[in-house]
Amino acid sequence: MRLMKSPFLFPTLSMLAVSLMAQQAPEPPLEFPALTLPQARAEALNSNPELKAAEAGWRASQGGTRQARTLLNPGLEVSRDDFGGSLPMDQRAPQEALALTQTVRLSGKRQAEIAAADSASAAAVERYRQVRLDVLTGVERQFAELLGAQERERIATENLDTAQEMARVVQALVEAGEASPIEAVRAQNEQDLAAIDYQGALQDLATAKSTLARTLGMSSVHFERAEGTLAEEVAVPDEEAVLLTLQRLPDLARLSAETRRLEASLQRARREAIPDPTFSVGMKRYTTTQEKAYFAGVAIPIPLFNRNRGGIIEASARLDQGQLEMRAEEIRLRALVATTRSSLRRSADEVASLRERVLPKAEQVYSAVNEGYLRGKFRLLDLLEARRSLASLRLRFVDAVVRLNLAKADMDRLSVNDPTLTEGATP
């Protein structure tokens, strides 16, 4: 039997081979199978694009500082006079001139520019520190969110297992004639609701992983889970003590450096009204006699039309704007301290109350109702209500603990009392 050659045979086989190779190729290993908070912080410091951009801004400011200290370049002038024209050649005296020129900046313009560049560099350093604090605080917050999502997924899994077991037991009772078929329907509905909650918990967990991965600078999730525990007890710091540390924050230090830059820019704008002279010195040569002569001169611009009044008005307004922004930022931080401290205290009280009183009682009630239902002392509705109440309280406890850790991260950001947030804070 003769085989026919098809023009589609080899492309089809090639695509099939590629597909099989792709299916057989092992997936790349996870970089962090169990990601810890120190690992997350180190990865963010190494790969976060916003932090890298702030570092690049600091390097740019270093270049600006170096450039501000550079002197103006001298100039070289070459000229030839009295060549050509209507006079006879024997009546002309062509001249060739060579001169060096140098513009000298007066009235401290260069010093003001250097001061502005130095302040801009200091502001860039504080900007880097501010972004670094924000990134590390964001990592801590998102890590806490991920731990909470993992705990919610665990609770949802347990609830689904419990609902499935309950549905199985109720169905067995119905088949034995010891329970009404309507109870089997109710148990099945409870199982369906638990399955919906489980799917939602899985989606929330995937979202929490993706959010943290983006902060760490990862193009995709390179870790399987977060490894750590959420703090359930956090001390609430004294408000006055936190307010005293606000001046150490890079948020205000950056604006302070920016204000100094604007002050130097205003001084420079005021001094721009004073003209800078240009000195020249050179030599002339008369081509007809080959004689040489030296000359010197100075050129001074006449500040007739431009006295930099507009530049002075702009620089003065920019300075006012910078000072007001610094004042507004200080007010915002003070209000944020009060809000964060209140949230921290409220979350700490809620966690303590749920852990020490509410949850133990709910667990006791559920155990008693579950045992009583198996003995025929309680209805199925009583058991379902006890189970829902316990599951709801467990989730509320997780949410409260997460809020407590989020408030703690915000308070650490404001008080800068966490050494890991400030170590190596200079680019």
* pLDDT tens per residue, range 342-386: 999 999 999 999 999 999 999 999 899 888 877 878 877 788 888
pLDDT in the model for residue 85: 59
- Token output for 225: 């889970």
Of 41, 292, 252, nearest in space to 130 by CA: 252
Task: Please report which confidence band the pLDDT of residue 167 belongs to, taking 50, 70 and 90 as the band edges.
Answer: confident
Above 50 in pLDDT, residue 149?
yes
pLDDT digits (tens, 9 = 90+) for 295-309: 899 999 998 888 999
User: Is there a domain that residue 19 lies in?
Assistant: no
Distance CA 189, CA 167 (A): 9
- Structural tokens at position 236: 């609430």
Whole-number pLDDT of residue 81: 77
Which residue, chain included where needed, has tokens 């560099």? 121
Within-domain flag for 221: yes
The pLDDT value given to residue 120: 94
Phi and psi of 92, rounded to 5°? -95, 150
Quote the tokens at residue 107. 């009235």
**Distance of alpha carbon 270 from alpha carbon 278, whole angstroms:** 20
Residue 34 lies in a domain: no
* Averaged pLDDT score across all residues of the chain: 86
Structural domain boundaries enclosing 354: 46-85+96-422
From CA 382, how far away is CA 190, in angstroms rounded?
13
Mean pLDDT of 316-326: 96
Please indicate, yes or no, if residue 370 is contained in any of the structural domains.
Answer: yes
Residue 362 falls inside a structural domain: yes
Q: Calculate helix-pair angle for 49-68, 37-47, nearest 10 degrees.
A: 40
Amino acid at 285: R
pLDDT number for residue 182:
87
Whole-number Å distance between alpha carbons of 357 and 188: 32
Integer CA distances (angstroms), 77 to 100, 102, 170, 268, in order: 6, 11, 104, 29
Strands 95-103, 278-286: parallel, antiparallel or unpaired by DSSP?
antiparallel
In a domain, 394, yes or no: yes
304 in a structural domain: yes
66: Cβ contacts below 8 Å, ≥ 6 apart = none
- Residue 61: closest CA among 111, 129, 116: 116
Query: How confident is the model at residue 386, as a pLDDT?
Result: 85
- Average of per-residue pLDDT across 23-50: 78
Residues in the chain: 427
**CA 126, CA 426: separation in Å to the nearest integer?**
9
Domain tally, the chain: 1
Which tens digit of pLDDT belongs to each residue from 170-214? 888 788 887 788 888 888 898 899 999 999 999 999 999 999 999
CA-CA distance, 282 to 100, in Å (whole number)? Answer: 6
Alpha helices in 354-379 (DSSP H): 359-374
Average pLDDT over residues 95-102: 91
Q: What is the pLDDT, as a whole number, of residue 334?
A: 94
**Helix 250-271 with 309-353: angle, nearest 10 deg:** 180
Q: For residue 84, name the pLDDT band (cuts at 50, 70, 90).
A: low
Backbone angles phi, psi at 303, to 5 degrees: -75, 70
Is position 75 within any domain?
yes
Distance of CA 372 to the CA centre of its chain: 54
Nearest to 230 by CA among 44, 45, 37: 37
> Which CATH number does the domain housing residue 364 bear?
1.20.1600.10
* Residue 395: band (very low, low, confident or very high) from pLDDT cuts 50, 70, 90: very high
